[in-house]
Chain A
């Protein structure tokens, strides 16, 4: 076959042309703002004017001396770790349930996915109502069951409020993790599971010795996305507590929003948001390593 190489046949040209808009969008509206976020954190920029002056490490010095910020940093860690531990437990268990066949499975799957489908802000407002200080149905149920004699001010006490935040984050992310773990379960070669049964391994032994190790990469993916979704989430805390009572339940995103957008101190807002980067870098590195292992592993199969 004779090769006619007109412009319409030059793959590298076509590749470039088709990719260019996406690359431009990502570079101009993600890459540049990302750099700007870091640059702004070293500036005294405010929302009111477009002036811009170097502030060196002044914003960082200010927030690191600020107990509210340190508290927010700690809360972000506590909420992220706490909710992801719950997510892993709930998701592995729920995936075992959904793998079995039983009557009403489609309905169960539909309901299980609901928390992930509903917009964060609407879920958060529903939970705000559930945790209402006067009308909380949880408080009523606990009292009616005789488990509670005093009163629970769910969103009014720092400890309880953080617990509520962790519950809501775990609730909204575990369905996503469940589906990922299910996808992982279905990709475990059946021979391995059968071999384990033949060797006399019971359900628990099979789960902990055979399936969970094989599921590790997939559970890791679920947790990594979970970490990103939780650590960087603004909606749940903003709507549930607004950072209160007395600024005790702020997380980094809500504090960055309060200082940077509502308080118009862009420099300090950016500096607070920059502390999200360690979370993201850990996640990105872990994902890259997983992806590389998948490449190598895929080649070996």
Chain B
């Protein structure tokens, strides 16, 4: 009886969480005449393929839309933002965890709190800054602004990560005659690699997901990122190409889902901020 309730509940959650993805999948590969049958026709079951699946929407997406271009744009932004974030947040996290002493924790929390200031409060002043710098409608605007979201969280992540790395290795290196700087340059990077990996993954997912700033600053279709272009520019006038739209949503979700599954526990450690002590 208990097992039945457990499986029932698990199934319920899987259906609720997964249903839109099933819907993306089935829409992406359905023929149009199978897709566009009104919900009033009760004899036509929309949950299954009534006609054989087709690749026409996928072909449309990759051949006749700007989708490949958006993927490329997104990857460019990801690459540059990752470099900036790692270069800025990793030393900062190390500094707060290992060098800053007593006020490191406080300062780290202060930096982390800026992560809570949302894009929807900042887009108005940023629109002024972006036009001052002449970055309207340019990926440069996104590259400048995305680190405002990644740096606070990643500094905090690195700081938390280093607290779980024993200090002894670095201490031993100093006893062996390394200067403090030499420890930072030669010993610490090796210890910090898993932390850096988390930073890279977090930055990648955040850039893939960001919508508000992209919507505010990018207006031409060929400069859009995936998360902006798909919902905004795959809609031609009033005509929604639902098949291609859902194919795009599906193909973008898959890599993110895999990455999330691998790294979620590390992110969560950052979010719970010590409210959970293991």
Using CB atoms and an 8 Å cutoff, list the residues of chain A in contact with chain B. Answer: 1, 4, 6-12, 14-16, 18-19, 21-23, 25-26, 29-34, 36-37, 40, 45, 47, 50, 90, 93-94, 96-97, 100, 102, 104-105, 107-127, 129-130, 134-137, 139-141, 143-144, 151, 171, 175-176, 179-180, 183-184, 186-187, 217-218, 220-221, 225, 228, 232-235, 238-239, 252-253, 256-257, 260-261, 266, 269-270, 273-274, 276-277, 280, 283-284, 287-288, 290-291, 294-295, 297-298, 301
Contact = CB atoms under 8 A, between A and B. Distances in A.
Given A97-B10, A122-B227, A122-B248, A260 B272 contact: no
Nearest to B136: A47
B261 interface: yes
Nearest to A231: B118
**Contact residue range for chain B?**
35 or more
Given A22-B92, A108-B14, A269-B124, A9 B116 contact: no
A86 B241 CA distance: 32
Contact of B128 (A115, A121, A184, A266): A266
A92 B59 CA distance: 42
Interface stretch (B33-41, B50-58, B61-69, B189-197): B33-41
A149 B264 CA distance: 43
B14 A22 contact: no
A144 B47 CA distance: 12
Interface centre among B95, B151, B277, B278 (most CB of A within 10 A): B95
Contacts of B231: 121-122, 124-125, 239
A122 B252 contact: yes
Contacts, number: 332
A50 B39 contact: no
A91 B34 CA distance: 36
Contacts of A121: 211, 227-228, 230-231
Which 5 A-B residue pairs are closest in the complex by CB-CB distance? Answer: A232-B118, A22-B92, A15-B99, A8-B181, A36-B125
Chain B contact surface mostly: helix
A4 B179 CA distance: 9
Contact of B123 (A118, A261, A298): A261
A276 B39 CA distance: 39
Interface in B1-60: 3, 6-7, 9-10, 13-14, 16-18, 20-21, 23-24, 27, 35-40, 42, 45-47
A129 to B, nearest CB: 5
Interface string B108-146: 010101101111111111111101100000000000110
